[in-house]
């Protein structure tokens, strides 16, 4: 099969354009590490018992995380970054409250002996 030079050139240009578009999409701030840290903080809060001891903070962290995902999808990465920081803080607070409640319960248990 023989491809005319101009057709081959156009095809090459199209392939290059697609590759550049894909690379730019990947190079755009994906904030993968920030999403990872926020989800890790949320899981840690859940493990610490946040659903029982700090449900408002835990649920707020999840809600903010979902908003960050939406902002990231809308390519509003600066907004997503701030939301991820807030979600991480809320989850950390939920974890701290849960750990404090667990410690208090433990002390109450030990004091009853």
Q: In the chain, where are the structural domains located?
A: 1-29, 31-111
- In this prediction, residue 16 has a pLDDT band, given cuts at 50, 70 and 90, of low
Flag whether pLDDT at 6 surpasses 90: no
Instruction: Give whole-number Cα distances, 73 to 31, 76, 80, in Å.
Output: 11, 7, 9
- In this prediction, residue 22 has a pLDDT band, given cuts at 50, 70 and 90, of very low
Predicted pLDDT of residue 106: 86
More confident residue, 64 or 25: 64
**How far apart are the C-alpha atoms of 76 and 63, rounded to whole Å?**
17
Length of the chain: 113
């Amino acid at each position: 099969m023989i491809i005319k030079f101009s057709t081959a050139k156009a095809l090459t240009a199209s392939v290059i354009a697609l590759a550049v578009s894909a690379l730019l999409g990947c190079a755009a701030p994906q904030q993968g590490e920030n999403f990872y840290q926020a989800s890790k903080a949320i899981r840690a809060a859940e493990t610490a018992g946040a659903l029982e001891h700090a449900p408002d903070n835990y649920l707020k962290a999840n809600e903010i995380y979902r908003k960050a995902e939406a902002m990231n999808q809308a390519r509003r990465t600066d907004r997503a970054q701030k939301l991820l920081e807030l979600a991480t803080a809320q989850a950390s607070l939920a974890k701290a409250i849960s750990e404090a409640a667990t410690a208090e319960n433990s002390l109450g248990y030990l004091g009853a002996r």
